[in-house]
Structure 1
Amino acid sequence: MSDTSREIASQPEVWQRALDLADAAHAPLAAPGERMLVLGCGTSWFVAQAIATLREHAGFGETDAVCASEYVPVRAYDRIVAITRSGTSTEVLDALRRAPAGTTRVAVTATPGQPVEDLIDAGLVLDFADERSVVQTRFPTAVLALTRAALGERLDGLVADGAAALAAPLPVDPATVDHLVFLGSGWTVGLAHEAALKVREAAQAWSESYPAMDFRHGPVAVAHPGSLVWTFGPNGSGSLDALAREAGAVSYHDERDPLAQLVLAQRFAVALAAHRGLDPDRPRLLTRSVVLA
């Protein structure tokens, strides 16, 4: 079994440990009434998008998300939260350095004792969610489980749903798919982007991601009998199923918690990598952290 597969399988246990930290995470991540920016790179940027939507919809205050390399200190924020598994990504460190004086800077990371600690006022270290694999799986889902709990969401069924997703059959045989489209709504748009990234990273395969109802505004034109259209959350009262069928594609969604649905998508990415003769632990051109000279 690959490191990636082992880390995927560990997620229900890791989520439980994250949920136990919800009280400690409330102040740095909920920060009621503050204007917040959440930033990161790659997977962490998609996690930031999900967090921004979750926090703002929960009524804790205006929240934006930005790719760390694109951060420009034009808008004023009370708090900047950086998501960085390694604590070493150059763009994240540079963004924190650019934060105006008086901005509270927070980092959520998996590795203690890294350069990001010199640039922040507070930090959350989820070392139990750290990963050997380059391809992130359990760290981002642990961050999202923790954030949802810290914002007051009841997640009584999350761990059980995660275990069920580990045992569930894959939606289709990966050998029948040459194109994946992941769709989301609200905070799960970030999950859709993350699922598509897993497929690109692990399996070097053609994958796309969009807000669910935007699929009909152009992207559906490339759907075909080799496409799998995978929706996180509501699927437009069945209209997306009908649209996929019209294109000859397979449509998939289920009722489990969206994080558990992401576990299934991670498993699919690894299975697709195996079908294509690829090692998910050694993704092409990727490293654990992007550190620029």
Structure 2
Amino acid sequence: MNDTAAEIASQPDVWRQSLALTGQAQDELIAPGERMLVLGCGTSWFVAQALAELRESAGFGETDAVCASEFLPRRHYDRIVAVCRSGTSTEVLEALRMVPASTRTTVITAVRGEPVDGLTDSQLVLDFADERSVVQTRFPTTTLALARHAFGADLDAVIADGRAALEMPLPADPAHIEHLVFLGTGWTIGLAHEAALKVRESAQAYSESYPAKDFRHGPVAVAGRNSLVWSFGDTPKELDDVAREAGATAYRSKQDPLAQLVLAQRFALAMAAHRGLDPDRPRLLTRSVVLTP
């Protein structure tokens, strides 16, 4: 078993382990009534999108998400939360250096003692969810599992679904799929973006992601008999018919969306194996993007 597969398989147990940090997560992420910004790069940006929607929809306050490389201190925020597995990503560090001193800053990270510590007021450290693999799997899902529990969700069913996702059949034969489209709504839009990124990173395959209803506004034009259209969460079921009319395979599940992401990670791994690729060594990628001046 490669590192990526082992880390995918560990997720339900790691989600359970994260619950010990629920109190700290509540202190850092609920902050009732505060305006919050969540930022990150790559996978962490998609986690930021999901986390922001979860917090605001739970009624704790206005919450935005932005890609760290696009951050500009134009709006007032009471608190900024950075998501950064390595604690070394250049764009995250540069964004935090621009934050006004009066704004409280927190980082959700997997490593202690990295440069991000000196740029934030507090650190929520998920070191037990760190990964050897370049491709992130259990760190982002554990971040969201912990946030959901902090916001009041019961994770028992989520963890059970996660275990089932490790054993259930894949929604299609990766040998017959050349193109994937992931659709989401609300907080699962971030999950859809993350699932598409896993396919690109691990399998070097053509994958897209959209807010679900936007599928009909152009993206359906490239769907065909070798496409898999995968819906996360409570997306309109009529979109399955739209996908099938285009010749594609449509897939949706009653499982919790976080567990569906586990299944999507497994699908990306299976595609990589079919293509003879090593998911532990993805093309052109490194664990952290550290830019030279």
2:37, 2:235 → 1: CA distance?
A: 29
Give the drift of 1:30: 1.0
Q: Where does the alignment leave 5 or more consecutive residues of structure 2 unmatched?
A: none
2:54 aligned with 1:75, yes or no? no
| Residues 65-114 of structure 1 deviation map (CA, whole Å, 9 limit, x = unaligned) | 00000000000000000000000000000100100120001000001111
Structure 1 SS opposite 2:92: helix
Deviations 1:207-255 (A, max 9, x none): 000001110011000000000000001231x201110110000000101
Distance 2:234 2:25 in 1: 29
After the TM superposition, which residues 1-293 of structure 1 pair with which residues of structure 2 at under 5 Å, given as runs?
1-236=1-236, 238-293=237-292
**Local SS of the residue matching 2:254:** coil
CA displacement at 1:132 relative to structure 2: 0.1
**Which consecutive unaligned segments of at least 5 residues does structure 1 have?**
none
Question: How far apart are 1:155 and its partner, in Å?
Answer: 2.1
Q: Which amino acid aligns with 1:3?
A: D
Identical-pair percentage: 72
Following the alignment from structure 1 to structure 2, what is the Cα–Cα distance between the partners of residues 125 and 19?
13
Once the two structures are superposed, residues 54-74 of structure 1 have per-residue CA deviations (whole angstroms, 9 ceiling, x without a partner) of 000000000000000000000
In 1, Cα distance between equivalents of 2:18 and 2:257: 17
Q: What secondary structure is seen at the aligned counterpart in 1 of 2:156?
A: coil
- For residues 33 and 55 of structure 1, the distance between their equivalents in structure 2, rounded to whole angstroms, comes to 11
- Mapped contact 1:235–1:241 kept (Cα < 8 A): no
Cα distance in structure 2, aligned partners of 1:16 and 1:100: 36
TM-score normalised by structure 1 residue count: 0.99
Give the number of aligned pairs: 292
Q: Please, what TM-score do these two structures have when normalized by structure 2?
A: 0.99
| Partner deviation per Cα, 1:246-274 (whole Å, 9 max, x = no partner) | 00000001011111000000000000000
Q: How big is each residue's C-alpha offset from its partner over 1:26-77, in whole Å with a ceiling of 9 and x where there is no partner? A: 0101111110000000000000000010000000000000000000000000
Deviation at 1:24, TM superposition (A): 1.9
Displacement over 6 Å in runs of 4+: none
